[in-house]
Amino acid sequence: MKISAQLSVVIAAIFAVVCFGVAFTGFLSLDGIDDPVRRADGIGFAWFWAFLGAIATTFGVIGVWMVKTHKEDS
């Protein structure tokens, strides 16, 4: 299955928004955790999702660059 470069940018953007949303929710929910071990695990979980969002954003930017610099073959 092939996907176009434009579709890959859209998919990367959707995935990045979802990842950053999960990370944001994870960071906001840390106040309710009293156990230090669970809190540390929650911080790691939130940073992991933030990392995934950053990777998706990077691939989205690369996709946009590829779409803008692509030259049609004659």
Question: What is the model's pLDDT at position 5?
Answer: 85
Question: What is the model's pLDDT at position 4?
Answer: 87
Question: What is the model's pLDDT at position 22?
Answer: 97
The DSSP annotation for the chain comes to ----HHHHHHHHHHHHHHHHHHHHHHHHGGGG---HHHHHHHHHHHHHHHHHHHHHHHHHHHHHHHHHH-----
Under the phi-then-psi rule, with left for phi > 0, alpha for psi from -120 to 50, and beta for the rest, what region is 42?
alpha
Averaged pLDDT, 8-30: 96
CB contact at 8 A, 32 and 59: no
| Whether residue 33 has pLDDT greater than 80 | yes
**Total-model pTM:** 0.85
Question: What is the model's pLDDT at position 54?
Answer: 98
